[in-house]
Amino acid sequence: MSLIKILNVVGARPQIIKASAISRAIRNHFSQEIDEKIVHTGQHYDKELSDVFFDELEIHLPHYNLGVGSARHGRQTSMMITGIEEVLMKEKPDCVILYGDTNSTLAGALAASKLHFPVVHIEAGLRSFNKSMPEELNRIMSDHASTLLFAPTNAAFKNLISEGFRPENSPPYTIDNPKIYLTGDIMYDNTLFYASLAEKKKLLFLENLNLKKDNYALVTIHRDTNTDDVLRLENILGTLISLGRQNSITLVMPFHPRTVISLKSKLPQLYGELCNLEFVRIIPPVTFLEMILLEKNSRMIITDSGGVQKESHFFKKPCIVLRKETEWIELVRNGTARLVDADPVRLRNDFLYFIEKHEELEYPGFYGNGKTAEFILQEILLMFDK
């Protein structure tokens, strides 16, 4: 029997982590049916944003690395399209799997759909309804170039329907007759798997940082709206410093390089203060297992990341979202995530609210049964009559 060949396109940190769920499911359940190849666009290239995940999560090293690096969006995306197109011509996969909403996702969608390779989009249908976000444009365009669309939540599935996707379509599926699914979230699969692995490995990461369970808030910031706007960054960090000090709560900040670059160049004094405060730990980006430990043992999570918002839910931690809106709207409706934008008053009020109420919050299962990757692969095989 000939194997179905899939080509995974990854480029940014969260995509490498997401691809590990698919790789693991292939290894464990579909190695007789599916052959996978990985193309890394090189959007993320620092060791701690890329290589560490291949090592730690035991993913096959990329078969191709396009080495595109950082650049303005148009230039970066066009270099990716050129590189992916060449890989597609050589590999001729049966389908291309894309994850999320980065420039690497969009490049994969354009390159594959124009050469008539079926596109499978994992994390389809998420919308912020804010087209000034690069990710929102990437999502919409990638969804509309896809043949199989896997929506992780009810809200995402409904968004697809309201954009004209028809749940009643029947096979054969094509870009003009796409199939939409309501699945769970492959990141929930990953969290279950790697949380248990992190437990077994007995890492001393928290001890080495001198962190005590439930006595620190985990903070991540990397969205361009926050890193590139000095006033927002100053408001957020200034308010967090005073909250940490007044409430004797440590602030752990594994910052994306873009945040540190911004702080050093635009707010050097604040950066110096943060580095010297005894209750603040600015650290380089951490590995996924370390991140899981940080999330699981925190008192609360404060973030502008999409992935970290959900992980706060997986670990039953309240989450303050440093954005105006979120694609993971069920978290806000559930009352366990609160949108504060970069407003010092809202940040302060919600921080204090969560300190007081965290034991009363509930975290229903919004994100599937932990076997979403297997479901997705099964459906891909069905598309090819396997």
Helix (H, G, I), strand (E, B) or coil at 245: helix
User: Which of ligand UD1, ligand UDP, none lies near 43, with the C-beta cut-off 5 to 8 A by kind?
Assistant: ligand UD1
Q: Does 125 bind ligand UDP (CB under 6 A)?
A: no
Q: What is the distance between the alpha carbons of residues 210 and 72, in angstroms, rounded to a whole number? A: 39
Of the residues 61, 89, 115, 261, which one makes contact with ligand UD1 according to CB under 6 A:
261
Stretch that binds ligand UDP, among 13-21, 32-40, 82-90, 329-337 (CB under 6 A): 13-21
> DSSP character for 289?
H
CA angle centred on 172, ends 386 and 124, rounded to 5°: 90
Q: Which does 83 bind (CB under 5 to 8 A by kind): ligand UDP, ligand UD1, none?
A: none
Question: Considering only 160-168, 263-271, 286-294, 375-383, which stretch makes contact with ligand UDP by CB under 6 A?
Answer: 286-294
> Phi-psi bin for 344: left (phi > 0), alpha (psi -120 to 50), beta?
alpha
291 part of the interface to ligand UDP, by CB under 6 A: yes
With contact defined as beta carbons under 8 Å apart, do 323 and 239 qualify?
Answer: no
Q: Kindly tell me which of 93 and 285 has the beta carbon lying closer to ligand UD1.
A: 285
Return d(Cα 20, Cα 187) in angstroms, integer.
10
User: According to the binding rule CB under 6 A, does residue 46 interact with ligand UD1?
Assistant: yes
For the bound state, the minimum distance from the C-beta of residue 204 to ligand UD1, rounded and expressed in Å, comes to 26
CB of 104 closer than 8 Å to CB of 11: yes
Q: Which is nearer to ligand UD1, 221 or 373 (CB)?
A: 221
For the question of residue 256 being annotated catalytic, the response is no
Q: List the beta bridge partners of residue 338.
A: 320
Residue with Cβ nearer ligand UDP (30 or 314): 314
Q: Which of 44, 121, 222, 256 is catalytic?
A: 222
Burial, 262: exposed, middle or buried (Cβ in 10 Å; 0-12, 13-18, 19+)?
buried
Comparing CB distances to ligand UDP, the nearer of 43 and 220 is: 220
Strands (E) in the chain, as ranges, are 4-10, 34-40, 64-65, 95-99, 119-122, 148-151, 179-182, 216-220, 250-254, 280-283, 300-303, 319-321, 337-339
- What residues numbered 300-319 form the site for ligand UDP, per CB under 6 A? 305-308, 311
17 touches ligand UDP by CB under 6 A: yes
Kind and range of the H or E run holding 315: none
Kindly indicate which of the ranges 11-19, 90-98, 193-201, 326-334 contains the residues binding ligand UD1, using the contact rule CB under 6 A: 11-19
Which residue among 8, 41, 43, 226 contacts ligand UD1 (CB under 6 A)?
43
Amino acid letter, 111: A
**Quick one: which of 7, 13, 233, 239 contacts ligand UDP (CB under 6 A)?**
13
Residues annotated as catalytic (active site), given as ranges: 222
